[in-house]
Copies of this chain bind each other. A is one copy, B any other.
Protein backbone atom coordinates (compact mmCIF):
# COMPACT_ATOMS: atom_id res chain seq x y z
CA UNK A 1 0.00 0.00 0.00
CA UNK A 2 2.85 2.35 0.80
CA UNK A 3 4.48 1.85 -2.55
CA UNK A 4 7.07 4.61 -2.75
CA UNK A 5 6.46 4.87 -6.48
CA UNK A 6 2.96 6.13 -5.84
CA UNK A 7 3.70 9.57 -4.57
CA UNK A 8 1.40 12.51 -4.93
CA UNK A 9 -0.31 12.24 -8.35
CA UNK A 10 -0.72 15.99 -8.05
CA UNK A 11 0.15 17.79 -11.23
CA UNK A 12 3.53 19.42 -11.29
CA UNK A 13 3.53 23.16 -10.67
CA UNK A 14 5.93 25.89 -11.60
CA UNK A 15 7.73 25.48 -8.29
CA UNK A 16 8.41 21.81 -8.95
CA UNK A 17 9.99 22.67 -12.26
CA UNK A 18 12.01 25.46 -10.70
CA UNK A 19 13.32 23.12 -8.02
CA UNK A 20 14.23 20.42 -10.51
CA UNK A 21 16.03 22.85 -12.78
CA UNK A 22 17.68 24.55 -9.85
CA UNK A 23 16.36 28.00 -10.69
CA UNK A 24 13.72 30.39 -9.42
CA UNK A 25 10.18 30.22 -10.61
CA UNK A 26 10.59 33.46 -12.46
CA UNK A 27 13.20 31.85 -14.67
CA UNK A 28 10.77 29.08 -15.41
CA UNK A 29 8.21 31.61 -16.54
CA UNK A 30 10.76 33.19 -18.83
CA UNK A 31 11.65 29.87 -20.36
CA UNK A 32 8.08 28.68 -20.84
CA UNK A 33 6.91 31.92 -22.43
CA UNK A 34 9.84 32.52 -24.75
CA UNK A 35 10.68 35.72 -22.93
CA UNK A 36 13.98 37.55 -23.42
CA UNK A 37 16.64 37.87 -20.79
CA UNK A 38 17.46 34.26 -20.18
CA UNK A 39 20.55 32.24 -20.87
CA UNK A 40 20.03 29.77 -23.68
CA UNK A 41 21.55 26.95 -21.66
CA UNK A 42 19.40 27.72 -18.63
CA UNK A 43 16.36 27.80 -20.85
CA UNK A 44 17.12 24.37 -22.23
CA UNK A 45 17.60 22.97 -18.74
CA UNK A 46 14.28 24.42 -17.58
CA UNK A 47 12.42 23.18 -20.63
CA UNK A 48 13.79 19.73 -20.10
CA UNK A 49 12.81 19.71 -16.45
CA UNK A 50 9.33 20.82 -17.48
CA UNK A 51 9.04 18.04 -19.98
CA UNK A 52 10.24 15.43 -17.53
CA UNK A 53 7.63 16.50 -15.02
CA UNK A 54 4.86 16.76 -17.62
CA UNK A 55 4.52 20.33 -16.56
CA UNK A 56 1.94 22.54 -18.22
CA UNK A 57 1.04 25.98 -16.88
CA UNK A 58 -2.36 26.14 -15.24
CA UNK A 59 -4.73 28.15 -17.33
CA UNK A 60 -6.41 29.40 -14.17
CA UNK A 61 -3.29 30.70 -12.55
CA UNK A 62 -2.42 32.33 -15.80
CA UNK A 63 -5.90 33.68 -16.46
CA UNK A 64 -5.85 35.34 -13.08
CA UNK A 65 -2.96 37.59 -13.99
CA UNK A 66 -3.20 38.06 -17.74
CA UNK A 67 -5.99 39.36 -19.90
CA UNK A 68 -7.53 36.44 -21.73
CA UNK A 69 -10.39 36.35 -24.17
CA UNK A 70 -13.77 36.03 -22.46
CA UNK A 71 -15.76 32.92 -23.23
CA UNK A 72 -19.29 32.60 -24.50
CA UNK A 73 -21.23 29.43 -23.75
CA UNK A 74 -23.45 28.33 -26.62
CA UNK A 75 -26.24 25.82 -26.05
CA UNK A 76 -27.54 24.04 -29.13
CA UNK A 77 -29.81 21.03 -29.27
CA UNK A 78 -27.90 18.86 -31.72
CA UNK A 79 -25.08 19.74 -34.10
CA UNK A 80 -26.11 16.84 -36.29
CA UNK A 81 -29.13 18.91 -37.20
CA UNK A 82 -28.12 21.44 -39.87
CA UNK A 83 -30.16 24.13 -38.21
CA UNK A 84 -28.01 24.10 -35.10
CA UNK A 85 -24.82 23.59 -37.04
CA UNK A 86 -25.47 26.65 -39.17
CA UNK A 87 -26.36 28.70 -36.13
CA UNK A 88 -23.30 27.52 -34.25
CA UNK A 89 -21.07 28.34 -37.19
CA UNK A 90 -22.35 31.91 -37.35
CA UNK A 91 -22.14 32.40 -33.61
CA UNK A 92 -18.59 31.09 -33.59
CA UNK A 93 -17.74 33.55 -36.31
CA UNK A 94 -19.49 36.50 -34.70
CA UNK A 95 -17.95 35.81 -31.31
CA UNK A 96 -14.47 35.28 -32.69
CA UNK A 97 -14.61 38.59 -34.53
CA UNK A 98 -15.36 40.28 -31.23
CA UNK A 99 -12.49 38.58 -29.46
CA UNK A 100 -14.58 36.03 -27.60
CA UNK A 101 -14.11 32.29 -27.62
CA UNK A 102 -16.99 29.84 -27.65
CA UNK A 103 -17.73 26.80 -25.53
CA UNK A 104 -20.47 24.64 -27.03
CA UNK A 105 -22.83 22.30 -25.22
CA UNK A 106 -25.34 19.99 -26.90
CA UNK A 107 -28.50 19.55 -24.87
CA UNK A 108 -29.54 16.52 -26.92
CA UNK A 109 -26.67 14.57 -25.42
CA UNK A 110 -25.95 16.25 -22.12
CA UNK A 111 -29.45 17.46 -21.30
CA UNK A 112 -29.81 20.07 -18.60
CA UNK A 113 -26.56 18.86 -17.08
CA UNK A 114 -24.72 20.02 -20.19
CA UNK A 115 -26.24 23.45 -19.85
CA UNK A 116 -25.43 23.82 -16.19
CA UNK A 117 -21.89 22.58 -16.68
CA UNK A 118 -21.38 25.68 -18.79
CA UNK A 119 -22.06 27.91 -15.83
CA UNK A 120 -18.75 28.42 -14.08
CA UNK A 121 -16.82 27.84 -17.27
CA UNK A 122 -17.96 30.85 -19.24
CA UNK A 123 -18.66 34.55 -18.93
CA UNK A 124 -22.01 34.57 -20.70
CA UNK A 125 -24.47 32.17 -22.30
CA UNK A 126 -26.54 32.18 -25.46
CA UNK A 127 -28.71 29.39 -26.73
CA UNK A 128 -31.75 27.23 -26.60
CA UNK A 129 -32.93 26.42 -23.10
CA UNK A 130 -35.87 24.12 -22.60
CA UNK A 131 -36.40 24.95 -18.90
CA UNK A 132 -39.20 27.08 -17.57
CA UNK A 133 -38.48 30.52 -16.20
CA UNK A 134 -38.03 29.60 -12.55
CA UNK A 135 -35.62 26.79 -13.36
CA UNK A 136 -33.67 29.13 -15.58
CA UNK A 137 -33.09 31.48 -12.68
CA UNK A 138 -32.04 28.56 -10.56
CA UNK A 139 -29.50 27.22 -13.05
CA UNK A 140 -28.12 30.45 -14.47
CA UNK A 141 -28.40 32.79 -11.50
CA UNK A 142 -26.63 36.02 -12.31
CA UNK A 143 -25.04 34.68 -15.51
CA UNK A 144 -25.59 37.00 -18.48
CA UNK A 145 -27.96 35.02 -20.64
CA UNK A 146 -29.69 35.43 -23.99
CA UNK A 147 -32.33 32.88 -24.84
CA UNK A 148 -32.99 31.70 -28.36
CA UNK A 149 -36.41 31.24 -29.92
CA UNK A 150 -38.59 31.13 -26.81
CA UNK A 151 -42.28 31.71 -27.31
CA UNK A 152 -42.93 35.43 -26.85
CA UNK A 153 -44.95 34.84 -23.69
CA UNK A 154 -41.97 34.47 -21.38
CA UNK A 155 -40.32 37.77 -22.00
CA UNK A 156 -38.39 38.12 -18.80
CA UNK A 157 -34.82 37.22 -19.78
CA UNK A 158 -33.17 38.63 -22.87
CA UNK A 159 -34.39 36.76 -25.94
CA UNK A 160 -33.89 36.43 -29.65
CA UNK A 161 -37.33 35.94 -31.10
CA UNK A 162 -37.90 34.24 -34.43
CA UNK A 163 -40.95 35.96 -35.84
CA UNK A 164 -42.23 33.76 -38.64
CA UNK A 165 -45.62 35.48 -38.67
CA UNK A 166 -45.26 37.68 -41.71
CA UNK A 167 -43.31 35.07 -43.67
CA UNK A 168 -46.04 32.52 -43.02
CA UNK A 169 -48.61 35.00 -44.27
CA UNK A 170 -46.50 35.55 -47.37
CA UNK A 171 -46.22 31.81 -47.95
CA UNK A 172 -49.96 31.27 -47.69
CA UNK A 173 -50.60 34.20 -49.99
CA UNK A 174 -48.09 32.78 -52.45
CA UNK A 175 -49.75 29.36 -52.44
CA UNK A 176 -53.28 30.72 -52.80
CA UNK A 177 -52.32 33.05 -55.62
CA UNK A 178 -50.93 30.09 -57.49
CA UNK A 179 -54.25 28.35 -57.13
CA UNK A 180 -53.63 25.94 -54.28
CA UNK A 181 -56.91 25.15 -52.60
CA UNK A 182 -56.18 22.90 -49.64
CA UNK A 183 -53.14 23.82 -47.61
CA UNK A 184 -52.14 21.61 -44.68
CA UNK A 185 -49.42 22.16 -42.11
CA UNK A 186 -47.21 19.45 -40.63
CA UNK A 187 -46.37 20.69 -37.17
CA UNK A 188 -43.80 19.36 -34.72
CA UNK A 189 -43.45 19.80 -31.02
CA UNK A 190 -41.48 18.47 -28.10
CA UNK A 191 -44.28 19.41 -25.76
CA UNK A 192 -47.88 18.39 -26.45
CA UNK A 193 -48.79 21.88 -27.58
CA UNK A 194 -48.80 23.25 -31.09
CA UNK A 195 -45.72 25.18 -32.02
CA UNK A 196 -45.86 28.93 -32.32
CA UNK A 197 -45.32 28.50 -36.03
CA UNK A 198 -48.47 26.42 -36.32
CA UNK A 199 -50.44 28.94 -34.31
CA UNK A 200 -49.50 31.61 -36.80
CA UNK A 201 -50.41 29.36 -39.70
CA UNK A 202 -53.81 28.52 -38.25
CA UNK A 203 -54.56 32.13 -37.41
CA UNK A 204 -53.75 33.29 -40.91
CA UNK A 205 -55.77 30.52 -42.55
CA UNK A 206 -58.74 31.20 -40.32
CA UNK A 207 -58.62 34.91 -40.98
CA UNK A 208 -58.87 34.09 -44.68
CA UNK A 209 -61.88 31.87 -44.09
CA UNK A 210 -59.94 28.70 -44.85
CA UNK A 211 -59.88 25.46 -42.98
CA UNK A 212 -56.79 25.51 -40.72
CA UNK A 213 -55.49 21.99 -41.22
CA UNK A 214 -52.70 21.25 -38.78
CA UNK A 215 -51.28 17.81 -38.10
CA UNK A 216 -49.23 17.87 -34.92
CA UNK A 217 -46.54 15.26 -34.42
CA UNK A 218 -45.25 15.04 -30.91
CA UNK A 219 -41.89 13.40 -30.27
CA UNK A 220 -39.09 13.78 -27.79
CA UNK A 221 -36.50 14.76 -30.37
CA UNK A 222 -36.03 17.00 -33.36
CA UNK A 223 -37.88 15.74 -36.44
CA UNK A 224 -35.91 13.49 -38.75
CA UNK A 225 -36.45 12.35 -42.30
CA UNK A 226 -38.23 9.11 -41.51
CA UNK A 227 -40.58 10.65 -39.00
CA UNK A 228 -41.42 13.36 -41.50
CA UNK A 229 -42.22 10.79 -44.16
CA UNK A 230 -44.63 9.07 -41.81
CA UNK A 231 -46.31 12.35 -41.02
CA UNK A 232 -46.72 13.13 -44.71
CA UNK A 233 -48.43 9.82 -45.29
CA UNK A 234 -50.73 10.40 -42.35
CA UNK A 235 -51.68 13.87 -43.55
CA UNK A 236 -52.59 12.66 -47.02
CA UNK A 237 -54.67 9.91 -45.50
CA UNK A 238 -56.46 12.44 -43.33
CA UNK A 239 -56.96 15.05 -46.06
CA UNK A 240 -56.64 13.35 -49.47
CA UNK A 241 -57.40 16.53 -51.40
CA UNK A 242 -54.37 18.35 -50.04
CA UNK A 243 -52.47 20.23 -52.74
CA UNK A 244 -49.96 22.15 -50.62
CA UNK A 245 -48.03 21.31 -47.46
CA UNK A 246 -46.41 23.83 -45.19
CA UNK A 247 -43.84 22.20 -42.92
CA UNK A 248 -42.60 22.99 -39.44
CA UNK A 249 -39.07 23.20 -40.79
CA UNK A 250 -36.86 22.32 -43.74
CA UNK A 251 -35.96 18.87 -42.47
CA UNK A 252 -39.62 17.92 -42.32
CA UNK A 253 -40.14 19.43 -45.76
CA UNK A 254 -37.34 17.39 -47.25
CA UNK A 255 -38.76 14.21 -45.73
CA UNK A 256 -42.12 15.12 -47.20
CA UNK A 257 -40.69 15.71 -50.65
CA UNK A 258 -38.92 12.39 -50.52
CA UNK A 259 -42.04 10.55 -49.41
CA UNK A 260 -44.22 12.16 -52.06
CA UNK A 261 -41.71 11.63 -54.85
CA UNK A 262 -41.29 7.97 -54.04
CA UNK A 263 -45.07 7.54 -53.84
CA UNK A 264 -45.35 8.85 -57.38
CA UNK A 265 -46.82 12.18 -56.36
CA UNK A 266 -45.24 15.02 -58.30
CA UNK A 267 -43.80 17.99 -56.45
CA UNK A 268 -44.80 20.71 -57.17
CA UNK A 269 -47.33 19.79 -59.86
CA UNK A 270 -49.64 17.80 -57.62
CA UNK A 271 -48.54 19.03 -54.21
CA UNK A 272 -46.49 22.09 -53.34
CA UNK A 273 -44.13 21.95 -50.37
CA UNK A 274 -42.88 24.81 -48.22
CA UNK A 275 -40.23 24.55 -45.52
CA UNK A 276 -39.02 26.91 -42.83
CA UNK A 277 -35.54 28.00 -41.72
CA UNK A 278 -33.69 28.22 -45.01
CA UNK A 279 -31.04 25.58 -44.50
CA UNK A 280 -28.45 24.90 -47.19
CA UNK A 281 -30.05 21.46 -47.26
CA UNK A 282 -32.92 22.94 -49.25
CA UNK A 283 -30.61 23.29 -52.24
CA UNK A 284 -29.61 19.65 -52.13
CA UNK A 285 -33.00 18.16 -52.84
CA UNK A 286 -34.83 18.02 -56.13
CA UNK A 287 -36.91 20.08 -56.57
CA UNK A 288 -35.12 22.77 -54.60
CA UNK A 289 -37.09 23.83 -51.58
CA UNK A 290 -39.24 26.92 -51.22
CA UNK A 291 -38.67 28.06 -47.67
CA UNK A 292 -38.97 30.83 -45.11
CA UNK A 293 -35.38 31.95 -45.03
CA UNK A 294 -33.89 32.82 -41.65
CA UNK A 295 -30.83 35.05 -41.69
CA UNK A 296 -28.51 33.07 -39.42
CA UNK A 297 -25.83 35.70 -39.68
CA UNK A 298 -28.19 38.35 -38.38
CA UNK A 299 -29.33 36.14 -35.54
CA UNK A 300 -25.77 35.46 -34.50
CA UNK A 301 -24.69 39.09 -34.68
CA UNK A 302 -27.72 40.25 -32.75
CA UNK A 303 -27.32 37.61 -30.09
CA UNK A 304 -23.61 38.02 -29.60
CA UNK A 305 -23.83 41.80 -29.45
CA UNK A 306 -26.64 41.58 -26.96
CA UNK A 307 -25.06 39.05 -24.67
CA UNK A 308 -21.78 40.96 -24.65
CA UNK A 309 -23.59 44.16 -23.76
CA UNK A 310 -25.30 42.41 -20.89
CA UNK A 311 -22.05 40.85 -19.74
CA UNK A 312 -20.43 44.26 -19.71
CA UNK A 313 -23.28 45.78 -17.79
CA UNK A 314 -24.32 48.03 -20.64
CA UNK A 315 -27.71 46.40 -20.99
CA UNK A 316 -30.14 45.07 -18.40
CA UNK A 317 -30.45 41.35 -17.79
CA UNK A 318 -34.15 41.36 -18.53
CA UNK A 319 -36.94 43.52 -19.82
CA UNK A 320 -38.32 44.59 -23.17
CA UNK A 321 -35.14 46.50 -24.11
CA UNK A 322 -33.30 43.21 -24.45
CA UNK A 323 -35.69 41.44 -26.79
CA UNK A 324 -34.72 41.23 -30.42
CA UNK A 325 -36.88 39.95 -33.20
CA UNK A 326 -35.68 38.43 -36.44
CA UNK A 327 -38.03 38.18 -39.40
CA UNK A 328 -37.49 35.39 -41.94
CA UNK A 329 -38.51 35.95 -45.54
CA UNK A 330 -40.19 33.82 -48.15
CA UNK A 331 -37.72 32.42 -50.66
CA UNK A 332 -39.47 30.85 -53.61
CA UNK A 333 -37.78 27.95 -55.36
CA UNK A 334 -38.96 24.97 -57.36
CA UNK A 335 -41.01 23.06 -54.81
CA UNK A 336 -44.02 25.39 -55.10
* Contact partners of A54 in chain B: CB under 8 A: 313
* Contact partners of A102 in chain B: CB under 8 A: 103-105
Q: How far is the CA of A58 from the CA of B101 in the complex (A)?
A: 16
Known: A79-B85, A254-B284. 9 other contacts (CB 8 A): A56-B144, A59-B121, A69-B117, A71-B121, A82-B82, A96-B106, A96-B114, A102-B103, A104-B104
Task: List CB contacts (< 8 Å) of A166-186 with chain B.
Answer: none
* Contact partners of A55 in chain B: CB under 8 A: 142
Q: A80-B86, A104-B104 are in contact. Are A286 and B284 (CB under 8 A)?
A: no
Please tell me if A62 contacts chain B, counting CB pairs below 8 Å. Answer: yes
* Contact partners of A262 in chain B: CB under 8 A: 286
Task: List CB contacts (< 8 Å) of A32-77 with chain B.
Answer: 50-51, 54-56, 58-64, 68-69, 71
Give chain B nearest CB distance to A103 CB in angstroms: 5
**Residue pair A110, B89 in contact (C-beta under 8 Å):** no
Q: How far is the CA of A58 from the CA of B85 in the complex (A)?
A: 30
Please tell me if A277 contacts chain B, counting CB pairs below 8 Å. Answer: no
Please tell me if A280 contacts chain B, counting CB pairs below 8 Å. Answer: yes
**Residue pair B68, A78 in contact (C-beta under 8 Å):** no
Task: List CB contacts (< 8 Å) of A191-226 with chain B.
Answer: 225
**Residue pair A121, B105 in contact (C-beta under 8 Å):** no
- 19 pairs of residues in contact across A and B, judged by CB atoms under 8 Å: A59-B60, A59-B122, A60-B61, A69-B117, A82-B82, A88-B104, A92-B104, A92-B109, A101-B117, A102-B103, A102-B104, A103-B104, A104-B104, A254-B284, A262-B286, A281-B284, A284-B284, A284-B285, A285-B286
Q: How far is the CA of A147 from the CA of B334 in the complex (A)?
A: 42
Please tell me if A128 contacts chain B, counting CB pairs below 8 Å. Answer: no
**Residue pair B104, A121 in contact (C-beta under 8 Å):** no
Name A69's contact: one of B61, B121, B142 (CB within 8 Å): B121
Q: How far is the CA of A121 from the CA of B101 in the complex (A)?
A: 9
**Residue pair B121, A106 in contact (C-beta under 8 Å):** no
Please tell me if A157 contacts chain B, counting CB pairs below 8 Å. Answer: no
* Contact partners of A284 in chain B: CB under 8 A: 225, 254, 258, 281, 284-285
Please tell me if A123 contacts chain B, counting CB pairs below 8 Å. Answer: yes
Give chain B nearest CB distance to A11 CB in angstroms: 9
Please tell me if A93 contacts chain B, counting CB pairs below 8 Å. Answer: yes
**Residue pair A96, B109 in contact (C-beta under 8 Å):** yes
Give chain B nearest CB distance to A87 CB in angstroms: 9
Please tell me if A23 contacts chain B, counting CB pairs below 8 Å. Answer: no
* Contact partners of A63 in chain B: CB under 8 A: 59-60, 63
Task: List CB contacts (< 8 Å) of A113-163 with chain B.
Answer: 114, 117-118, 120-123, 142-144
* Contact partners of A114 in chain B: CB under 8 A: 96
Lowest 5 A-B CB distances belong to which pairs? A60-B63, A85-B85, A79-B89, A54-B313, A93-B109
Name A142's contact: one of B56, B61, B85, B281 (CB within 8 Å): B56
Name A79's contact: one of B64, B78, B79, B144 (CB within 8 Å): B79
